[in-house]
Amino acid sequence: MAGDCSVRVFERVLTDVGAGIYVADWKVTNEEFGLGERWTIEKRRLSGGLSDGVDIVAVDNGAFSFTIVPTRGMGIWKGFFKGVRLGWDSPVENPVHPHHINLEARGGLGWLEGFNEWIVRCGLENFGAPGTDVIIDNMGREREVTLTLHGKIANIPAERVTVRVRLEPKVELEVEGVVYERSMFGPNLRLTTRIVTSPGDNKVRIMDTVENLKSSPAEMQLLYHCNYGKPVLDEGTRILAPFRIVAPRDARAAEDIASFDVYGPPETGFVEQVYFCELAGDSDGRTVVALVNRDETLATSISFSLRELPYFTIWKNTASLEEGYVTGLEPATSFPNTRRFEREKGRVIKLEPKGKYRAEIELSVHMGRDDVQKVKAEIERFKVEPKIYQRPIRDYST
Amino acid sequence: MAGDCSVRVFERVLTDVGAGIYVADWKVTNEEFGLGERWTIEKRRLSGGLSDGVDIVAVDNGAFSFTIVPTRGMGIWKGFFKGVRLGWDSPVENPVHPHHINLEARGGLGWLEGFNEWIVRCGLENFGAPGTDVIIDNMGREREVTLTLHGKIANIPAERVTVRVRLEPKVELEVEGVVYERSMFGPNLRLTTRIVTSPGDNKVRIMDTVENLKSSPAEMQLLYHCNYGKPVLDEGTRILAPFRIVAPRDARAAEDIASFDVYGPPETGFVEQVYFCELAGDSDGRTVVALVNRDETLATSISFSLRELPYFTIWKNTASLEEGYVTGLEPATSFPNTRRFEREKGRVIKLEPKGKYRAEIELSVHMGRDDVQKVKAEIERFKVEPKIYQRPIRDYST
Amino acid sequence: MAGDCSVRVFERVLTDVGAGIYVADWKVTNEEFGLGERWTIEKRRLSGGLSDGVDIVAVDNGAFSFTIVPTRGMGIWKGFFKGVRLGWDSPVENPVHPHHINLEARGGLGWLEGFNEWIVRCGLENFGAPGTDVIIDNMGREREVTLTLHGKIANIPAERVTVRVRLEPKVELEVEGVVYERSMFGPNLRLTTRIVTSPGDNKVRIMDTVENLKSSPAEMQLLYHCNYGKPVLDEGTRILAPFRIVAPRDARAAEDIASFDVYGPPETGFVEQVYFCELAGDSDGRTVVALVNRDETLATSISFSLRELPYFTIWKNTASLEEGYVTGLEPATSFPNTRRFEREKGRVIKLEPKGKYRAEIELSVHMGRDDVQKVKAEIERFKVEPKIYQRPIRDYST
């Protein structure tokens, strides 16, 4: 939409730190433009507790509503489609301002104190398990540091936030955010994300570009941690995908490799099971994964390109409701091991100076047997005979 | 008061993050209800410096005034009773917003950069000296982490703050706060505190409930760090309590075990002395400790239950006025050693799923010889022959 | 100006946390007083992104404008003199609120995530490379901790900010800030800075006092990191100073010791070169250093006293424009090695109880050949035969 000049587009900059623009509270609806289909976009600044000072942008296309959190790296806190909740019940209830998060806490696990989003990006310098890695410091020397769990991007506020509405059919509602992960003598990666939906649609698209602003090459990692709890996740819910390879991360995951694609009920004391996968897709690399409930009346799907996001991880965390009954579907540039391990395996992206990396995911909801059958059929088309490893494999697991 | 439905109660929610309620500045007084005895409750949001964004609730019952800091875990910054200051002069003058505190700094001593309260809770996952301990991580594996000095609770903003006033005799002024210490894959402990006083009273009650919101058991520690400087603490001030056992923490404390219950004047370079104690109480476990000045014209006391808070620590820090001339009286669930040590000694509370732990302390001020004699007499009733150890004992000290 | 009572002085307190004073947005100009020469002082609170909540005070004397950042320890973000930019293009574009900075990150390098000032103080407990050092903890015991890169002062908000204007000739525009670097059981150092210019002047003076508020002695370190990029820094720019001793910090700096005083063009992958220097001055210890561009039409100079700031460091970082093409001229109380090393060499200041340390730097801009010749001539007067070491020396380098 940004480059689409021949149509009428409404644009409003909500935040631009460099230009001194900041809008605390604001709302726009279809009525302002005499458009028939109901929609709203609303910006608010939260107050009090750990959410004090957090900016949110709530988009409601009439059927699908979701809440973007610019203060938390343009993640999506939660969504609702016709009354069905997307996301999950983290023990951490409300959006936590990054200034309350110490990523380095507990040996690099501080990220978990703010983790409650439906969709949260992990990256950009690194994602995955915390671990030591070598960086080059200001003196040009190698320096071993601890890279923290899932990196920094989810805890960096956006420097620019813009709302755009395409006012001609097909109407589009877009929230663009620009987030910089940068430091003197460190990485300088710019994430530009456009989050787009249309009135009445059952889907939202996240279109991201990560650019290396340095004049030297830089590593980059990007993972979309897409998290679902009840009602999408429930006993008997299945994950459908055109699996080519599936391998358990560890012995714990191997225990239940036979049912890696089926979910159990909430279970107190359940220890997470993680499966590393590679998928098949169409000739352009496009693929689809879905969560389908037991009676096949409700599904959510994620569509993306294997050229952009070639590795896929399933995080099964069917713990008790109180402790976060949730599964994460995680299309990514690699697996969420330590960056050091992923680099050894050749799975870390290297961006040239000014190099860009584009990735897009489309999140859909399917209600009723007919719609669920359609997405099942779509995935069926991509299917191949999967290679399912019974034990962790050396190429995937540390 | 919360459950007391047959009387008229005024209630005002000042903060409820989940409900989108936040009141920056607000005040209520007796005049609003046509009540005769003067009192005020005033909410303010501080601005500038390290206090920027800190919420305070100042309660003045006409004789006793004190300032609650919701942003700092519902601690009480300072109090005044008829012009007598309660609290102390920390080098850190004003309330520090938790986002300026890095608890992990300097090997886990960052808590000290914000420490200036009259009453501050230590806990809830742990309190005491920083030290390594083993937690269970997301992968179900043991992981050694550093638990930081005195835990997190004092640096977590309250998610809900409510003011209640019982409008019929006996009028009560209550500030309730709810603070969550929680993380994905971590503890999920909810502190609900009610801080209550009545018009003209010489006391304030702190009634706390800590609940384990998980579906699995969780450890919990709770200590009330009650801190007094001038004028209550002065040369010749004594601590009176029904001591059963007293033991010096270390060789430094052992040096002056003979006078462990008497305070000296401010002394530059004084190194803290800590005494670990167990107390006697009445048949319900209720006990009282008091600080009494030399000429017995001024005293402060703390009343609590040994069933809730069975261990009592005296922190003598009669350093120079500039460096914090202060004593801490610390009723607690254990001694402030590392959690690992306290667990070994069986002094760490284990809460069942949804289990609750209640604790209450009542803080009083006694002015004039008559009132001081009364509190002395009260303590006298509980007294037993104390066992005073000359050296640190293995059961108390690491 | 503060003590100058016989003249008319306008004073406005913008922040005083203890007194409950805080002004978010405010402006004063010459017109308010009927003064002829144009000037303005403007206070603003920034919103959004990493700058959310940052206070800035912009001073414009009609020719020289600069932006003070009280929230970042009263550093000066950037300046302009008659359209010439002072400062540099850090990868970090806007002022970063300290609550987004974790100084302990990456082994003590977190300071770099907020580093973008023209003038930033390093200190006060320590500055220089991160490294372990021994402090005395609350128990009077030695404790090894990591002191972080360049210390804390640049990431502590000022507790008091006052604007003063001397309304009689010579009119002076002053911003005073008070910043405390303090902790219970830690240092308690108070920085009082007065930043002063006059309408139309080509210079700004920074007059600092650091006071040890403790009743015991305390170490103190203070370095002025004065940073210049384009246009002052460019290919062929030279640093002029009355060098007595020059030594490369390390082998990397030694490579180009022959041209230590000349700058190259931006160069991708350039690794910083640091030179440790001692300078000559006049009989009062006053000295001047300058950056002069190749055709000698533009220069900036820094004047200071060797009695206050006896050590001088040159940081050459002629990396690509994207990565921060910049040089730092750093008058200081010592060299920016670890504090432990500097203490061994006797270069760490020890302040007596209530002891004060004063330091002042004057920053000037010189445009046109005539003015540049004048500052060259001034430096020429102090010059002596320098001792230039080809290799790092043991007294300066670890």
User: pLDDT digits over A200-209, tens only?
Assistant: 999 999 999 9
| Rounded distance between C-alpha atoms, residue A45 and residue B20, angstroms | 10
Residue A1: predicted pLDDT? 52
Residue type, B387: K
Residue B4: predicted pLDDT? 52
Question: What residues of chain B lie within 8 A of the CB of C134, using their CB?
Answer: none
Question: What residues of chain C lie within 8 A of the CB of A140, using their CB?
Answer: 252, 271-272
Is residue A68 within 8 A of residue A74, CB to CB? The reply is yes
Q: Is residue B2 part of a domain?
A: no
Nearest to A339 by CA among A128, A193, A151: A128
CB contact under 8 A, A91 and B213: yes
Number of folded domains that form chain C: 1
- Closest residue to C102, CB basis, from A53, A104, A184: A104
State the smallest CA–CA distance between residue B261 and chain C in angstroms.
Answer: 19
State the smallest CA–CA distance between residue B162 and chain C in angstroms.
Answer: 24
CB contact under 8 A, B93 and C214: no
Residue type, A360: E
CB contact under 8 A, C52 and A157: yes
Whether C157 has its CB under 8 Å from any CB of chain B: the answer is yes
Tokens of B106: 């300097």
Q: Is residue A1 part of a domain?
A: no
Residue A5 has pLDDT above 80, yes or no: no
Any alpha helices (H) in B105-257, and if so which ranges?
A: 105-108, 251-254
CB contact under 8 A, A215 and C321: yes
State the smallest CA–CA distance between residue C252 and chain B in angstroms.
Answer: 31
Q: Is residue C3 part of a domain?
A: no
User: What radius of gyration do chain B's Cα atoms show?
Assistant: 20
Nearest to C112 by CA among C123, C122, C101, C121: C101
Question: What residues of chain B lie within 8 A of the CB of A104, using their CB?
Answer: 104
- Closest residue to C159, CB basis, from B49, B106, B321: B49
Summarised one tens digit per residue, pLDDT across range A135-155 is 888 888 999 999 999 999 999
Is residue B119 within 8 A of residue B101, CB to CB? The reply is no
CB contact under 8 A, C104 and B105: yes
Is residue C237 within 8 A of residue C301, CB to CB? The reply is no
Residue C138: predicted pLDDT? 86
- Closest residue to C94, CB basis, from A17, A184, A188: A17
| Rounded distance between C-alpha atoms, residue B302 and residue B203, angstroms | 9
Interface of B with A in 180-199 (CB under 8 A): 180, 182-186, 188
State the smallest CA–CA distance between residue A103 and chain C in angstroms.
Answer: 9
CB contact under 8 A, A145 and C106: yes
Q: How far is CA C24 from CA A22, B47, B299, C8, C177, in A?
A: 15, 9, 43, 26, 16
Question: What residues of chain C lie within 8 A of the CB of A24, using their CB?
Answer: 47
CB contact under 8 A, B91 and C183: yes
| Rounded distance between C-alpha atoms, residue C246 and residue C314, angstroms | 10
Whether B53 has its CB under 8 Å from any CB of chain A: the answer is yes
| Rounded distance between C-alpha atoms, residue B10 and residue C61, angstroms | 55
Q: Is residue B395 part of a domain?
A: no
Contacts of B370 (CB under 8 A, 6+ apart): none
Q: Is residue C168 part of a domain?
A: yes
- Other chains touching B, judged by 3 or more CB pairs under 8 Å: A, C
Segment A245-263 shows an average pLDDT of 98
Strands A325-332 and A218-228: antiparallel
Specify the CATH number for the domain of residue B278.
Answer: 2.70.98.10
Residue A4 has pLDDT above 80, yes or no: no
State the smallest CA–CA distance between residue C38 and chain B in angstroms.
Answer: 29
Residue C223 has pLDDT above 70, yes or no: yes
CB contact under 8 A, C91 and A216: no
Whether B391 has its CB under 8 Å from any CB of chain A: the answer is no
| Rounded distance between C-alpha atoms, residue B5 and residue C140, angstroms | 54
For an interface test with A, the pick among B138, B147, B155 (most A C-beta atoms closer than 10 Å) comes out as B138
CB contact under 8 A, C140 and B271: yes
Is residue C50 within 8 A of residue C35, CB to CB? The reply is no
pLDDT tens for chain B, residues 1 to 398? 555 557 899 999 999 999 999 999 999 999 999 988 999 999 999 999 999 999 999 999 999 999 999 999 999 999 999 999 999 999 999 999 999 999 999 999 999 999 999 999 999 999 999 999 998 888 888 999 999 999 999 999 999 999 999 999 999 999 999 999 999 999 999 999 999 999 999 999 999 999 999 999 999 999 999 999 999 999 999 999 999 999 999 999 999 999 999 999 999 999 999 999 999 999 999 999 999 999 999 999 999 999 999 999 999 999 999 999 999 999 999 999 999 999 999 999 999 999 999 999 999 999 999 999 999 999 999 999 999 999 999 999 98
Whether B16 has its CB under 8 Å from any CB of chain A: the answer is yes
ipTM score of complex? 0.96
| Rounded distance between C-alpha atoms, residue A130 and residue A143, angstroms | 16
| Rounded distance between C-alpha atoms, residue B290 and residue B301, angstroms | 4
Tokens of C317: 């970082």
Segment C348-372 shows an average pLDDT of 98
CB contact under 8 A, A92 and B215: no
Residue with the bigger pLDDT between C141 and C220: it is: C220
| Rounded distance between C-alpha atoms, residue A176 and residue A160, angstroms | 8
Question: What residues of chain A lie within 8 A of the CB of B214, using their CB?
Answer: 91, 320, 322-323
Residue C230: predicted pLDDT? 98
For an interface test with A, the pick among B17, B74, B351 (most A C-beta atoms closer than 10 Å) comes out as B17
List the end-to-end C-alpha distance of chain B, in Å, as a whole number.
42
Q: Is residue A243 part of a domain?
A: yes
Q: Is residue A398 part of a domain?
A: no
CB contact under 8 A, B112 and C53: no
Q: How far is CA B163 from CA A135, B1, B58, B65, C326, in A?
A: 52, 11, 11, 15, 55
Whether A255 has its CB under 8 Å from any CB of chain B: the answer is no
- Please, what is the Cα angle at B310 between B308 and B313, to 5 degrees? 125
Whether B46 has its CB under 8 Å from any CB of chain C: the answer is yes
State the smallest CA–CA distance between residue A191 and chain C in angstroms.
Answer: 14
CB contact under 8 A, C271 and A188: no
- Closest residue to A107, CB basis, from B143, B157, B182: B143
- Closest residue to C18, CB basis, from B94, B269, B321: B94
For an interface test with B, the pick among A113, A120, A256 (most B C-beta atoms closer than 10 Å) comes out as A113
Nearest CA in chain A to C98: A99
Residue C1 has pLDDT above 80, yes or no: no
Q: Which domain holds residue C330?
A: 11-388
Whether A53 has its CB under 8 Å from any CB of chain B: the answer is yes
Is residue A334 within 8 A of residue A313, CB to CB? The reply is no
Interface of C with A in 114-153 (CB under 8 A): 115-116
Question: What residues of chain B lie within 8 A of the CB of A105, using their CB?
Answer: 103-104
Residue type, C9: V
| Rounded distance between C-alpha atoms, residue A302 and residue A288, angstroms | 6
CB contact under 8 A, A182 and C51: no
Q: Is residue B3 part of a domain?
A: no
- Other chains touching C, judged by 3 or more CB pairs under 8 Å: A, B
Whether C321 has its CB under 8 Å from any CB of chain A: the answer is yes
Residue C249: predicted pLDDT? 98
Whether A58 has its CB under 8 Å from any CB of chain B: the answer is no
CB contact under 8 A, C115 and A184: yes
Contacts of A327 (CB under 8 A, 6+ apart): A227, A228, A233, A237, A239, A263, A291, A314, A315, A316, A317, A318
